[in-house]
Chains A and B, each alone.
Chain A
Amino acid sequence: AQSVAQPEDQVNVAEGNPLTVKCTYSVSGNPYLFWYVQYPNRGLQFLLKYITGDNLVKGSYGFEAEFNKSQTSFHLKKPSALVSDSALYFCAVDGRGSTLGRLYFGRGTQLTVWP
């Protein structure tokens, strides 16, 4: 079965400091991994994805994520956090098998960046 875990419900970081939002996954075969961000009262916005190739994936708004196969992790990172990065972040993995492009989402991590 495919699943995603986001072990932290909340992450707090000061502006200018590096941030990490954690994600671990369980999937049969090679995973396709995604990060989305949700601002209040908005839909999800795509940040980045890992399909194959370089383990370090760069995405929108200065975010990047590192795929680590041995640790089954796909942590989201940013070198210097901004107050405007405060939002709800979701990790998702593609479900392989009979369902086309079906995403399994984590429960989300609320990121708060204080000034």
Chain B
Amino acid sequence: DAGITQSPRHKVTETGTPVTLRCHQTENHRYMYWYRQDPGHGLRLIHYSYGVKDTDKGEVSDGYSVSRSKTEDFLLTLESATSSQTSVYFCAISDSTSGLRGTDTQYFGPGTRLTVL
């Protein structure tokens, strides 16, 4: 497995509370991504980062923010958790060794199961 860890692995929280999920990589890859997985939807991109302090929105970014202050860490924050954010969250990493955008494989972390009551 690629050197990706996610913490916590499981979390139960209440509606309205802030939540931060952490993705940590030891591969020194430039690109990092946050996805959520929901039944019937596959994986959907929340936010991604193409370098330290460089981030952008994905297709389901509402209610989420991210930060990347170091190459190895990518944080996902739910400012005020809602029940619709109950999901499994995956972090992924990739690098641009090929020089061709989009050709490099994304490698995924083990996931965080978040339940918002």
Q: Please list the residues of chain A having a beta carbon within 8 angstroms of any beta carbon in chain B.
A: 4, 32, 34, 36, 41-46, 49, 51, 90, 92, 94-96, 99-103, 105-108
Query: In the complex, are the beta carbons of B42 and A100 less than 8 A apart?
Result: no
A43-B108 CB under 8 A given contacts A100-B31, A101-B101, A102-B58: yes
In the assembled complex, the CB of B54 is this many whole angstroms from the nearest CB of chain A, namely: 10
In the assembled complex, the CB of A95 is this many whole angstroms from the nearest CB of chain B, namely: 7
In the assembled complex, the CB of A23 is this many whole angstroms from the nearest CB of chain B, namely: 11
Contact partner of B31 among A44, A95, A101, A108, CB < 8 A? A101
Query: In the complex, are the beta carbons of A43 and B111 less than 8 A apart?
Result: yes
Residue-wise, chain B 34-60 has the 8 Å CB interface mask toward A (1 for contact) of 000000111111001010000010100
Query: In the complex, are the beta carbons of B45 and A102 less than 8 A apart?
Result: yes
Contact partner of B42 among A41, A46, A96, A105, CB < 8 A? A105
In the assembled complex, the CB of B69 is this many whole angstroms from the nearest CB of chain A, namely: 20
Query: In the complex, are the beta carbons of A49 and B58 less than 8 A apart?
Result: no
Query: In the complex, are the beta carbons of B103 and A32 less than 8 A apart?
Result: yes
Q: Please list the residues of chain B having a beta carbon within 8 angstroms of any beta carbon in chain A.
A: 1, 4, 31, 40-45, 48, 50, 56, 58, 90, 92, 94, 96, 100-111
Additional A-B contact list (12), CB under 8 Å, known A43-B4, A101-B94, A105-B44: A34-B105, A36-B108, A44-B43, A44-B108, A46-B105, A96-B102, A100-B31, A101-B31, A101-B96, A101-B106, A102-B58, A102-B102
Query: In the complex, are the beta carbons of B90 and A51 less than 8 A apart?
Result: no
Find the B residue at minimum CB distance from A4. Answer: B42
A95-B102 CB under 8 A given contacts A100-B48, A102-B45: yes
Instruction: Report Cα–Cα, A81/B1, bound state, in Å.
Output: 24
Query: In the complex, are the beta carbons of B90 and A32 less than 8 A apart?
Result: no
Between-chain CB contacts (< 8 Å), 10 pairs: A43-B1, A43-B90, A43-B111, A44-B43, A44-B108, A90-B43, A101-B96, A102-B102, A103-B43, A106-B42
Chain A residues within 8 Å of B43, by CB: 44, 90, 92, 103, 105
Query: In the complex, are the beta carbons of B101 and A107 less than 8 A apart?
Result: no
Query: In the complex, are the beta carbons of A51 and B45 less than 8 A apart?
Result: no
Contact partner of A32 among B92, B102, B108, B110, CB < 8 A? B102
Chain B residues within 8 Å of A45, by CB: 108
